[in-house]
Amino acid sequence: MIQVRSAVQGPQDAAEQSIRDNAESTLAQLRQHAEDGVLTDADIAEATGAQQSVRAVTRTDGEIAVTSRLIGVSSGLFGPAGSDQCVVFTLKQPLGPGAEASYRDEPSCPEATFSPTARPVQS
């Protein structure tokens, strides 16, 4: 059996792609904030912005893990489509320029325990 996939992206696909784009952008911003060797709660709040909900931050000697719920929305012919995904961003210690960083999807997110010490600046 031959399957043919359309090259046209549907609303759900676009919503999921917006999550991937958001994850890549967030990872880049977390890395940028960590270049000085420190990643504060305020840095995390600013890097993650309003498109996601930080659920937890775990700090160990080896790494900092930021668990977030990312949301993607797109519009389509029959109205908006949405998708969400739990993502864990991991930055390896020591932090600084070129520090190892990655993200992975998780099947579900924990209840929110993160409460930043400072709110991100809205522009």
What's at 81, amino acid-wise?
A
Instruction: Kindly report the pTM of this predicted structure.
Output: 0.77
Q: Is pLDDT of 76 > 70? A: no
Determine the Cα–Cα distance for residues 37 and 24; give it in Å rounded to an integer.
21
Determine the Cα–Cα distance for residues 57 and 81; give it in Å rounded to an integer.
29
What's at 4, amino acid-wise?
V
Q: Is pLDDT of 112 > 90? A: no
pLDDT digits 0-9 by tens, 30-62: 999 999 999 999 899 899 875 458 999 999 999
DSSP states along 36-74: TS---HHHHHHHH-SSEEEEEEEE-SSEEEEEEEEEEEE
Domain boundaries, the chain: 11-106
Q: Is pLDDT of 121 > 50? A: no
